[in-house]
Amino acid sequence: MANAVTKVNSIAIANIAKINGQNDSDLAKLNTLEFTSAPADAHTLIASQTSATESNVSVTFSSLGSYDVLLFDWINFDSTDGADDVLSFQVTTSSYSYNAYITSTYFRGYHTEAGASGGLAYYVSGDQENADQVYQWLGAYMDEGEDDSSSSGNLTIFGHSSGTYVKHFMSRSSTEASAAAFDAYVGGFVNTPEAITAVQFKALGGGTFTGTIKLYGLATS
């Protein structure tokens, strides 16, 4: 529940530890106005992992917390096995181990550095049809042959711990590849009511890669 009191003597309540010897969590009201502790979990970092060597082939998060919304940020995904590649993800539930059924759609826009061409289109290679049980594309292929090529973006998963509904997700990313900017949009759902217990990221081709992935929990109130 939101605070009716936002400041005391111009000081934000989130910065007040005690008032007249009482902790803010012990105060119900101040001058008849409702007083509650400021929410500390509006956007909380749960974990951060960096794939920093050429031996890394996956990054896995198995402690997902109790949040209704999970946000993964990936920063500078870069294939290191000598081939162009794209970041991808899959999940584990009670019935599936990184091979859950996914239904998704994928489209992307691009524009070359020289301005010679550009476009926006549905990209059939990046979607799934609830049959493949493979890793879902995120972003566009980065160009391993370009020193400055990489991909960064985010993946949001909703209601991962629900035992009733499918698990919706969406992603947006930016990739520099082949002297062009790619803007990829992915949306869909993991087609099971079972709770997601782990999320794994890999290069789609299964090779090594570098990059940092951060997991945040988003409060819903």
Query: What is the enclosing helix (H) or strand (E) of 177?
Result: strand 167-177
Q: What is the pLDDT of residue 121?
A: 93
Cite the residue boundaries of each domain of the chain with CATH code 2.60.120.
43-218
Structure pTM?
Answer: 0.80
Residue 51 pLDDT: 84
pLDDT profile of the chain (221 residues), mean per 10: 54 57 55 53 86 82 92 95 94 97 96 90 92 93 86 97 96 92 96 97 93 90 60
| Structural contact between residues 59 and 75, judged by C-beta atoms closer than 8 angstroms | no
CA distance 59 to 143: 21
Length of the chain: 221
d(CA 135, CA 184): 16
Task: Return the CATH number of the domain spanning residue range 43-218.
Answer: 2.60.120
- Check residue 58 and report its DSSP letter: -
Q: What is the model's pLDDT at position 210?
A: 92
Paired sense of beta strands 180-190 and 209-218, if any: unpaired
* DSSP code, position 140: E
Judge contact between 211 and 78, C-beta under 8 A: yes
* Residue 89 · residue 155 · CB < 8 Å: yes
CA dist 126 and 86 (Å) reads 10
Which residue type occupies 54? E
CA distances from 186 to 40, 117, 124 (A): 30, 23, 11
